[in-house]
Amino acid sequence: MQRTYLRAVAALAMVVAATLAGVTMKVAYAHGDGHETAFGKPGDPKKSARIVQIVMREQDGKMIFIPNTLRIRKGEQVRFQLRNIGEIDHEFVVGTLEENLKHMKEMEKNPDMEHDDPNAKRLKPKTAGEIVWQFTKAGRFDFSCMIPGHREAGMFGTIVVE
């Protein structure tokens, strides 16, 4: 309950700040309300799901997801098992490419913004997390690390839903 309240207050503060700055913000993510987005909706953790393991790490001056390309069937529910085996924080954010690139710009202005939404998870080094997501629409979607500089260093991937 308190976490939901804090998220609502943080979201309201962002909207107020954007309004004062004369910027219109579009909420692109499903922040816990079960609302369907252009890339699907939060999954039901009580239902069966295909398990997809995603590793986050730094390697040879790059930041990467392993794997960085996924194929998923339309309607399929996926349980992303996330592991950050790197030495620094990383995020996994599922969205459309357009939404993720727009959100990346917002992260540049607010680098300490953390994600723990149905479609996003931030992990400290040597930790694990999970996201359950249902892909209800066909298309090409993006997953990225939104921490400033990480996507630019190669930390992104593609989800093809057929």
The whole-chain average pLDDT of the chain stands at: 83
Q: Percent of the chain at pLDDT above 90?
A: 71
Model pLDDT, residue 34: 58
- CATH class for the region spanning 2-161: mainly beta
Domain chopping of the chain, boundaries = 2-161
Q: Which of 24, 35, 21, 12 is nearest to 134 (CA)?
A: 35
CA neighbor of 145 nearest in space, from 78, 57, 79, 74 = 57
Residue 143 banded pLDDT, cuts 50, 70, 90: very high
| In the predicted structure, residue 75 carries a pLDDT above the cut 70 | yes
Classify each residue of 17-44 as buried b or exposed e, where b means 16 or more C-beta atoms within 10 Å of its C-beta. Answer: eeeeeeeeeeebbbbeeeeebebbbbbe
Entry pTM: 0.77
CB 151 within 8 A of CB 144: yes
3-state helix, strand, coil in the chain (%, to 5): 20, 40, 45
| Per-residue pLDDT reduced to its tens digit, 77-113 | 999 999 999 999 999 999 999 999 999 999 888 887 7
